[in-house]
Amino acid sequence: MSDVDVLNRLYTVIESRKGADPESSYTAKLFDKGRAKIAQKVGEEAVETVIEAMRDDRAAITSESADLLYHLLVLWADAGVAPADVWAKLSEREGTSGLAEKAARSSGGKTGS
């Protein structure tokens, strides 16, 4: 398996923690606290990633990025968004100018491939 598959494997583990004992699993504890807390953690990790980027600390950026991706996967699992849904959206946008894609979203339009 490739390193890229780690996100899919991690998502599977995260999904398996739904309904688990919050005292035995940090992930189960996040699910137990609800989406607002999960979203808050995504925001915190995003800010921490930005701070480390501004400090130009490669190791810290790497670590905070891993934390951010983990919490984002927890949010996806809570919201019923599978990684494949996100990969499909990224594939759909592939080859489209970022500026054109953003403009289309702002105007409510759809972009093509």
**pLDDT by 10s per residue, the chain, length 113:** 567 799 999 999 999 999 999 999 999 999 999 999 999 999 999 999 999 999 999 999 999 999 999 999 999 999 999 999 999 999 998 887 667 767 776 776 554 54
What is the Cα 106 distance to its own chain's centre? Answer: 22
pTM of the model: 0.82
- Structural domains of the chain, ranges and CATH numbers in brackets: 5-81 (1.10.287.1080), 83-113 (no CATH)
Q: Are 9 and 69 in contact (CB under 8 A)?
A: no
What digits encode the pLDDT tens for the residues 54-85?
999 999 999 999 999 999 999 999 999 999 99
